[in-house]
Amino acid sequence: MVISFYKYQGTGNDFVVINSFQGKMLDLDISKIQHICSRKFGVGSDGLILIKESSRHHFKMDFYNPDGSQSFCGNGARCAVHFALTSNMITENPCVFEAIDGAHKAFVCQDEVKIEMSSIGKIERIDSSQQSKKMKDSYFLNTGSPHFASYVNNKVDMESILEIGREIRFSEAYRKNGVNVNLMIKQGLNAIEMRTYERGVEGETLSCGTGATACALIHANQKDFEGNVVEVKTRGGDLKVSFDKSADGDFTNVFLIGPAKQIFNGQIEI
C-alpha cells in the first residue's frame, strides 16, 4: 500500500501527518506506525498524526508515538491544526479539534498556532533526594501526557538529560506507564529553558509541547512569579504558554503558542 504523507515540524519536534479525512480512512497497525516513524527505514519522526473526521468537532487528531503508543502531543496538535486549515480540510479559524484527552480550541495566525491545553492536572511535589544530585525542586504534572520536571543548576547539568531521563522513566514509579522527563533552568521571572526526554521516543527530542506547558505552569506556581505568560526556550525554538491563575493556584485558559511549519510531502510504501 502506498500512502501520501506530509512532514511537519514545530520547534524541532517533527511529525508525519496523514490525511485520513472524508473517506480516506487508514487502518495502521503498530508495526506500520513504527516503520513510518523509523529514521532509518521510514520517513522518520517524533510521532505520527492521523487527521480524521469528528462527529462533534472540526476534526479528530490521533497521535502515535514512534513505538506505536498513543498520547496527546502539544506540538503535534499545533502542526495538525496548521495542516487542516492550510490544506482546506476545514475553513473555520478558530476551530475545535478532538484528541485522546478531549476537545481543544485552536487559532492559526500565519505560521503561529495557539492551542488550548484542556487537560491540566494538579502539580505534585516529588522527593528527588534519592535521584541525581543535579536536580532540585522536582514536580509531576499531567498536561495531556504525564511529565516529571525538575529544576537544575545550569546548562551543564541539563546535558545529563539522557542519563537522568532514562533513570526516572524506567524507575519503579514510572516503568509501567512511562513518564516524560524535563530538566529546566530559570532564565528570569517569566522565562525558562528546558530539555526533554520523551517516553515512546525513548530519547531526547528538540522540543515537547506538553512538556513546555508542564514546565511553564510549574514555574508559574513559584512564589516569586508574576504575570500570565511564560516564555519557554527549547533546543528547537521558542514557545510561549499563557494562562489564568486563580488565588488557590488552579490554572485555566491554558494555551500553548508557537510556530508550525510544513517541511515537505511525499509518498511511502508500507
Write down the pTM of the prediction.
Answer: 0.94
Least confident of 5-9, 107-111, 145-149, 180-184: 107-111
Listed in sequence order, the residues at least 6 apart from 27 whose beta carbon sits closer than 8 Å to its beta carbon are none
HSE-up of residue 260 (Cα within 13 Å, Cβ side): 32
Domains of the chain and any CATH numbers: 2-116+260-269 (3.10.310.10), 124-256 (3.10.310.10)
**Per-residue pLDDT at 226 exceeds 90:** no
What's at 98, amino acid-wise? Answer: E
- Above pLDDT 70, what percent of the chain? 97
Q: Are 83 and 122 in contact (CB under 8 A)?
A: no
Q: How far is CA 98 from CA 52, 55, 80, 134, in A?
A: 9, 10, 11, 39
Give tens-digit pLDDT for 93-106: 999 999 999 999 99
Give tens-digit pLDDT for 240-259: 999 999 878 789 999 999 99
Q: Are 105 and 94 in contact (CB under 8 A)?
A: yes
Is 208 tagged catalytic?
yes
Tell me what pLDDT residue 183 has.
97
Catalytic pick from 37, 73, 79, 95? 73
Catalytic pick from 37, 79, 95, 208? 208
Is 95 tagged catalytic?
no
Least confident of 58-67, 74-83, 130-139, 153-162: 130-139
Question: Any idea which residue has 532540585 for its cell?
Answer: 136
Give tens-digit pLDDT for 13-51: 999 999 988 666 677 899 999 999 999 999 999 999 999
Tell me what pLDDT residue 246 has.
86
Tell me what pLDDT residue 118 has.
86
As a whole number, the mean pLDDT across the chain is: 93
Tell me what pLDDT residue 24 has.
66
